[in-house]
Amino acid sequence: MRYKPLSAEFYKGRRRNLVGELPQDSIAVLVSHDEYPRCGDTTFPFRQNSDLLYLCGIDQEETVLAIAPWHPNPAFREVLFIKNPSPEKVVWFGHRLSKSEATALSGVETVMFVDEFDQVLNDLMVHSRRVYLNIPEDPRMKTTFPTGEVRFAKRLADEYPLHKFCRLAPILRPMRTVKDVEELSAMKTACDITGKAFLRAARAVKPGKYEYEIEAELTFEMLRNGATTHSFAPIVASGPDTCILHYIKNDKVMNDGDLLLLDFGAEYANYAGDCSRTIPVNGKFSPRQRAVYEAVLSIYKDTLPLFRPGMTINKINDFVFRRMDEELVKLGLYTAKDIEMQDPDSPLFKKYYMHNTSHFIGLDVHDVGERDWVFQPGNVLSCEPGIYIADECIGVRIETDVVVAENPVDLMAGLPVEADEIEALMKDN
C-alpha cells in the first residue's frame, strides 16, 4: 500500500454515525465499484466506491459491507465480504487482503469471503424491513450505464419485493462533507504532494517543450512522494487552450509568449488535492497577462476569508460575480454603463468567467455537497476564480483548497501565487 491508511477507529466511528441515522429493523449494504476490462486479461485502474471507502477503508475490488444493527446474531451486525486471496489469484495479481488484515484496516470483526455473501444476505434480509443502498447520485450528472450498485439494487428488488428500499445518499452525503482530523491530515498530505509537483513542473517549463512533458513532471513528483495517482485528469493548457476549461489533451508545443494554465491534484489515501496555477511559458508575464493575472489574484485573495461557517457556494459565487464585474471593467472588457444595460439572464461577466468559484473536495475531487448547503467547520472546498479572454489567448485560473473555519485554513498556503513569486520561481530554471 502506497499510503498510510486511516485508523480502524476512524471507520468504526463512521459506521456508528450511520447506525445512529438508520430506523429500527433496517440494514445497509454497500458494494464495491466494478473492475472494468480493458482488453484480454487487462483491466482499467480500479478505484473504490467512495461511500464504501468512507465506512470501512477496504481499497480492493469485489468487496461488500453489510451493516445490520438489529440482527439477533451479534456476529452479523457488521459483516465485511472480501475477495478470496487464493494462491492462484495471488500468483496472477499479487497480494489481496486476508481476513485478519481486513479486520485490522476496517475494525469489522466478522469478515467472510464473497463466495459466502448470498447465503448471509438471505439471513440479513429475512431479519430486516428496510434496506438502505447506495447508487451513483449527482445532481450534475446522470449515470448512463448500469453500475455494480445499480445492478445490485435491481437484484434485491427482484428477489425481495416486499422489503422497503431506501437511499443511503441523504444520510451519507452530509456526513462525508465534514472532515475528521484524520481526513484533514490525509488531505493536507495530498495538497503538500500537489504543491511539490507544481514546483517541479514550473521549473521545467520552457518555450518549445510539449505540454505532456510538464504533465510527466507532475506525475513523476506525485508518484515519488506516495500519491496513488492524479485525483483527476490533469489540465496542462497553453496559449489559446488556457481558455478551454477542461482541456486534457496536453499535446501542444508551448510557445514563447504563451501562458500555461495548470489544473491538477494528487490523490493520497484516496483523498484529493486540487490546485490551479497560471504561469508564463518564457518566465515573464507580459503587461497584459500580468494585469489579468493580478485581477484574478485580487478576487482570489478577497474570497479566501469568506469560507466560514454559515456561508454557501451560492453566496461565494454572488460575491465573486460582483468582484468579477469590477475587475473586468478595469481590464477594459466592458463598461459600467454596459452593466446597467445588460440582460440580467445573460450577464456580461459570463463571457469571461463561465464556471463556479467553489466545489466540495474529499474522497472525490468534486465531492458530495451542493451549492446551497450551509458551510460547517471541517468542510473542505476549492476556491478558484478565473478570467478567460479567448480573443487574446489569455486564460488565468488560481485555485487552492480551503478548510472551513472562523479563520479559514488554506491547505496550500506558501505555494507561490504572487506574480513576482511565479517569475522568481521560473527564473531559477
Mean pLDDT of 349-371: 97
What domains sit in the chain, N to C, each tagged with a CATH number? 8-177 (3.40.350.10), 181-427 (3.90.230.10)
pLDDT on residue 88: 76
Q: State phi, psi for 395 to the nearest 5 degrees.
A: -125, 130
pLDDT, residue 41, reads: 78
Model confidence at 364: pLDDT above 90: yes
> What's the pLDDT at 145?
78
Is the pLDDT at 83 greater than 90, yes or no? yes
pLDDT tens digits for range 390-413? 999 999 999 999 999 999 999 999
Specify which residues 78 forms β-bridges with: 67
pLDDT bucket at 429, cuts 50 / 70 / 90: low
Mean pLDDT of 239-251: 97
Q: What is the mean pLDDT of residues 28-33?
A: 97
Model pTM score = 0.95
CA distance 389 to 243: 7
Mean pLDDT of 267-271: 97
Instruction: Return the C-alpha cell found at 246.
Output: 477542461
